[in-house]
Structure 1
């Protein structure tokens, strides 16, 4: 791939395909993982050290409830709870480290949550000292952290830079005060601007801002203000997420009045406004909900055909074995997935008994691996070459996926993709709906196997 694939927003097409579907941060998706999986294959794959190592640490704590949030979190103002959590993380680190060959180093580190900046500076120091003692960082390691701008100490960014962090993601959602009040996340613009300026001065080479469309009291005027402000800050990356209102599943969302939410037509208009505003400002559409400036590593990876998708979204270097530490964290090694317990009590109990806190997992069969590669290609490269795929896997793509190719005809007629003699090609109009094309190759959806409730495309 020598050029960045173009994208064109077609509101009528997006509305037609606005249906629930997986986000494919993995295939099979995490809701398909099985509690009978014993984790042995995952541990053996880690021990072989066939791929670079990536580490994700989940810090589940927040001290306030954002009403829109659907993350696995614990809301508390007691920082002492984090000390206990770090005690258990230390046990998990010690158990995981024994599974790795001597000399294993870390290419990627990501702290997520909750919010990692719930931790005090001293607790952050303790966490990083613990991690680096067992997982030494490579000299050019990518170290990223999710930051709540409301919860930054005076020296927190300086400490993070000293520990090697070079990427940050800031939660913004919307800059309009009326919207912020409705979602219980009042956050002055100056706090975000200050965090970005200080981060850049300290050497953070990429800053991402999270935005959400479809929030209560959001309208075209508030979206215009948000876009103008955010584009003026010029972050390297922007993630534009859809608010999924599922109050039956997420209790905090019950505090959002249905009357305050935009209509489906209004939400679609907000998405179109945001997409066109970002692309007009020079941001490249990466895929699904990610945008980046042309010089950012995501845009470069897209142009060069190296883009990947993992549990943190799109990535420029995702072909790593992944260790997930902390409650609900997911690991991946070779063809194996494993996920920790989702509840703190279960997570602690496992470690109290000297066991890794693994709750469930999955080992891919060849059919899964084939479909994973197809879905990755459609979501990341917007195309798939039949001959190259056949040579790599020793199959005849068009025969193996005859049922799927027949189903794609409807999407082809609607202009989402082209089925060419040499392969599949997602059209510019279809790039915003690549999930719809990918879902055709999801065997579990086809077979109607019961799983989690998925969000809609918009």
Structure 2
């Protein structure tokens, strides 16, 4: 248990480090032509593998906690126009990719991807299969709202090759779901899991803590219900209250939002239940069965992370993203599409890529990214191991990150890390505050004037 004094000390606004640099550093000087150049250069960079991300922004109703780029609509004509543009974008970008490279990961995010009917899903997947090479080991994942799943829909997802499904539960308490405007599952979760497992697909259950009416006791009850269903992974996201970005989140304030000490109690209590049930703690917020790929990767210290979440180095690829607001993560650049659906569709119709902003990485960014990824994913940092991956020396890496061992001493005193000249290790207590630890290796944070959510 982390005491309140420590919570207050470390509950600071810091990046989530889903990417490095964070998306707040993207700029509008980065254009479509810059992206095309970066895509062509990416064919000669590592990793050679390809990850594809498809952003489906549509939701049939707005969840008040949502921080994603979504569009509330049931207009099927708009859906069809969007799908036409998405397929055309895939074709345009594929012309610049070495298609002998293997696709190791396909991820559908949103929004609510299963707001589309299966004929529409089939059309998009057929376009991917037409251009790219996949195999039996390719992870094909979709984020789903269980309120819209049927047995027929599940069967068709399996037949189309989907083998990992993330179910956005958020909470099992219907009072809490009502307060955040989230519909409950259409079928018992255990039934959904069994249907997917019958087709050899893995299932994640996703939860959010820090919502109105949640207490440590109620959240733990939801986690215990999840454990009974025995999914492959359970994910517990800390609610990020950013009403200056997402104004609809202000609606939650009328029912009260739990403070950082309550949120930490929720997380600790849920975490304890999962660990006692045999789940392995992965990174900040994931828990996986011991035989799951993420647990094996953590044991082997080969865990990785991108905008889509934690993955293994075997499934990691440079990410080519499609759809409104989608972010590509290449070795040498980040590129984000416009967040406006009409502008997205119009650009594609005109044969242009709808890039809104991006960022060109340099050697320093790549080096810092490797360090922060290692800390965030594998809870350790061996300077020489990371340096050898990017053809640097340990001393060069320390210089690039602006590392000062004196900054680690307060964290060591608070039992968050142990360290020597060769290696830094994050303690069990330190995992709760991993963003604070990662921030020590971020030279841009010292000069950045950006707004971030708090760490707890």
Give the alignment's TM-score, normalised by structure 2. Answer: 0.93
User: Are 1:68 and 2:61 counterparts?
Assistant: no
Aligned match for 1:19, one of 12, 15, 22: 12
SS in 2 for 1:175: coil
Q: Is the 8 A contact 2:21 2:365 kept in 1?
A: yes
Q: Is the 8 A contact 1:418 1:425 kept in 2?
A: yes
Partner of 1:295: 291
SS in 1 for 2:274: helix
> What is the Cα deviation at residue 161 of structure 1?
0.8
Distance 1:316 1:401, change over 3 A: closer
Quote the Cα distance in structure 2 between the aligned partners of 1:27 and 1:194: 39
> What is the Cα deviation at residue 40 of structure 1?
4.1
Partner of 1:6: none
Quote the Cα distance in structure 1 between the aligned partners of 2:260 and 2:382: 37
Q: Is the 8 A contact 1:171 1:211 kept in 2?
A: yes
Q: Is the 8 A contact 1:49 1:101 kept in 2?
A: no
SS in 2 for 1:184: coil
Partner of 2:354: 357
Distance 1:102 1:201, change over 3 A: closer
Partner of 2:455: 457
Quote the Cα distance in structure 2 between the aligned partners of 1:336 and 1:246: 26
Cα deviation 1:162-209 (Å, max 9, x = unaligned): 1111100001111011111111113148442322111111211x2111
Cα deviation 1:390-446 (Å, max 9, x = unaligned): 554135145555653332222222221123022212122212211111111112211
Partner of 1:408: 408
User: Are 1:230 and 2:226 counterparts?
Assistant: yes
Partner of 1:34: 27
Instruction: Give the stretch that moved more between structures: 59-68 or 132-141.
Output: 132-141
Quote the Cα distance in structure 2 between the aligned partners of 1:48 and 1:399: 27
Partner of 2:200: 203
Quote the Cα distance in structure 2 between the aligned partners of 1:349 and 1:185: 32
Q: Which runs of 5+ in 2 are unaligned?
A: none
- Aligned length, in residue pairs: 447
> What is the Cα deviation at residue 319 of structure 1?
3.5
> What is the Cα deviation at residue 334 of structure 1?
2.0
Q: Which runs of 5+ in 1 are unaligned?
A: 1-8
| 1:199-348 paired onto structure 2 within 5 Å | 199-204=196-201, 206-317=202-313, 318-348=315-345
Quote the Cα distance in structure 2 between the aligned partners of 1:14 and 1:48: 45
Quote the Cα distance in structure 1 between the aligned partners of 2:398 and 2:140: 41
SS in 1 for 2:135: strand
